[in-house]
Structure 1
Amino acid sequence: MKLLVVLMLAALPLCCYAGSGCQLLEEVVDKTHDPEVSVPEYKQYLQEFIHGDESAEAVGEFKQCFLKQSNETLQDFQVLMQKIYDSIYCALY
């Protein structure tokens, strides 16, 4: 389960690089680090990408990791993601 959470974290910036829809990625990232979005709301938003109980549990744990972070850490994460979006690798998409 922990491996799946790590893979999800690693895949976020790569999705933009792969050209698989940065707008969708940005919306998911926004909901991921938004402390006002609860785990059930997050799961509901990602429902079309969740296939089975294990995936649902992993998505819940993934969101819970962000809910446990301080506001400063969440702001730093947002800055990191913006740097990735502005990178030369995402500029092509």
Structure 2
Amino acid sequence: MKTKRILFIVLIVGALLLIPLIAMQFSDEVVWDLFDFLVVGILLLGTGFLIDLVLRKVSTTKNRFIICGVIFAVLFIIWAELAVGLFGSPFAGS
């Protein structure tokens, strides 16, 4: 059961990483290098594993939604910062 969950998370992350890879073949506007794929892969895997942990360990549905919402919010804030430097931090290379 645990192996199936891990495999499912890895397959979903792989499928999501295929989107920019395919887009790079058809557009000059999507320009990712290996480092970009690694960072996004780590972010998505980390998010997936954290969500899995929350779903296994937290008992109430309300708390699951709240914690998962916070995890997704943090993911989107980090993603936006890395993509466009939303806050202008050194984290984004600004």
Larger radius of gyration: 2
Please give the TM-score of this superposition, normalised by the length of structure 1. Answer: 0.38
Q: Which has the higher contact order (CA 8 A, sep 6+)?
A: 1
